[in-house]
């Protein structure tokens, strides 16, 4: 997404060693209930918005002028509340400024946060893929059609095998991330984008195949695969859509 170019939330110096914050944020995880909020905005000094510094503030959820929406109704991830935040002339002292100075690299810090967020998606995808595979294996062993467990049919076996390949790939990807972290190496934004892109697509493909393997039962809410399918879809959207990841990866490759 155009996180910085399209950012309209602002901070203005109020002349009393503090700031006045205004703007809104949407699709905020735990936004309706969070006690502490990191608010990223641009310093409005009357200059061109594209040239403004990016600042980050630590805010309490009950500050005057800060309001929030009710939890949004979503396709999936019902256990994770998502909402909107609205700030209208919220006053924040300099002690709430992350980095303690306007010259702190808030833009770079935010990008590093984006990278960490994307790098975390393979673990989420692995959970979805592993659960889909476990459910499908049990179903393939017990569901009988034409006098045989459906796991004896080669097309069902192909689905199961592909799920296992995706599970192994995701697991190995996570092991590599752990090894890099242990060696003190940071994953680049392009590497994180590549990991997220593969993981999100793998989770979605496996979840759809799980629904298909279950047949009519897969479409019913009493069987968990339909929930996993709805939950998997958001991996292709949040922390940057698949299309954004492709662009990030390609730009990095072309730069060499």
* Residues 33-78: tens digit of each pLDDT: 999 999 999 999 888 888 889 999 999 999 999 999 999 999 999 9
CB atoms closer than 10 angstroms to residue 250: 12
Instruction: Mark out the alpha helices in the chain (DSSP H runs).
Output: 106-119, 121-142, 154-182, 189-214, 225-233, 242-255
CATH architecture of 10-104: Beta Barrel (2.40)
CB of 150 within 8 A of CB of 156?
Answer: yes
Token duo for residue 124: 């989420």
The CATH number fitting domain 111-255, selected from 1.20.140.10, 3.40.50.1000, 3.50.50.60, 3.40.50.300: 1.20.140.10
Confidence of residue 6 (pLDDT cuts 50, 70, 90): confident
Please name the residue that has the structure tokens 């991996």.
Answer: 235
Q: Is the pLDDT of residue 31 over 70?
A: yes
- State pLDDT tens for residues 213-237: 999 999 999 999 999 999 999 999 9
Reply yes or no on whether 117 is catalytic.
Answer: yes
* Rounded alpha-carbon distances, angstroms, from residue 47 to 10, 23, 82, 106: 12, 17, 33, 18
Please name the residue that has the structure tokens 């793998």.
Answer: 202
Confidence of residue 114 (pLDDT cuts 50, 70, 90): confident
Distance CA 3, CA 225 (A): 33
Distance CA 227, CA 211 (A): 10
Catalytic residue among 117, 152, 164, 205: 117
Q: Is the pLDDT of residue 18 over 60?
A: yes
Token duo for residue 66: 């800060």
Distance CA 67, CA 61 (A): 8
Token duo for residue 99: 């980095």
The boundaries of every CATH 2.40.110.10 domain in the chain are: 10-104
Local structure of 90: helix, strand or coil: strand
The boundaries of every CATH 1.20.140.10 domain in the chain are: 111-255
- State pLDDT tens for residues 185-218: 989 999 999 999 999 999 999 999 999 999 999 9
């Amino acid at each position: 997404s155009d996180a910085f170019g399209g950012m309209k939330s602002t901070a203005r110096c109020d002349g009393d060693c503090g700031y006045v914050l205004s703007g809104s944020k949407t699709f905020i995880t735990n936004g309706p209930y969070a006690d502490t909020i990191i608010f990223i905005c641009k310093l409005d000094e009357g200059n061109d918005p594209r040239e403004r510094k990016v600042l980050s503030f630590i805010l309490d959820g009950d500050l005057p002028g800060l309001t929030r929406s009710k939890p949004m109704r979503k396709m999936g991830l019902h256990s994770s509340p998502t909402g909107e935040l609205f700030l209208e002339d919220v006053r924040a002292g300099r002690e709430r400024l992350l980095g303690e100075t306007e010259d702190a690299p808030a833009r770079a810090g935010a990008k590093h946060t984006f990278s960490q967020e994307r790098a975390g998606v393979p673990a989420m995808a692995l959970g979805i893929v592993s659960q889909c595979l476990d459910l499908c294996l049990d179903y393939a062993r017990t569901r009988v059609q034409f006098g045989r467990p459906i796991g004896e049919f080669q097309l069902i076996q192909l689905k199961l095998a592909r799920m296992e390949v995706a599970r192994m790939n995701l697991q190995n990807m996570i092991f590599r991330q752990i090894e890099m972290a242990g060696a003190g190496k940071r994953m680049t934004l392009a590497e994180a984008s590549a990991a997220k892109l593969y993981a999100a697509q793998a989770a979605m493909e496996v979840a759809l195949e799980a629904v298909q393997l279950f047949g009519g039962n897969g479409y019913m809410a009493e069987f968990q695969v339909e929930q996993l399918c709805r939950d998997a879809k958001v991996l292709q959207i949040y922390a940057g859509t698949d299309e954004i990841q492709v662009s990030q990866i390609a730009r990095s490759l072309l730069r060499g």
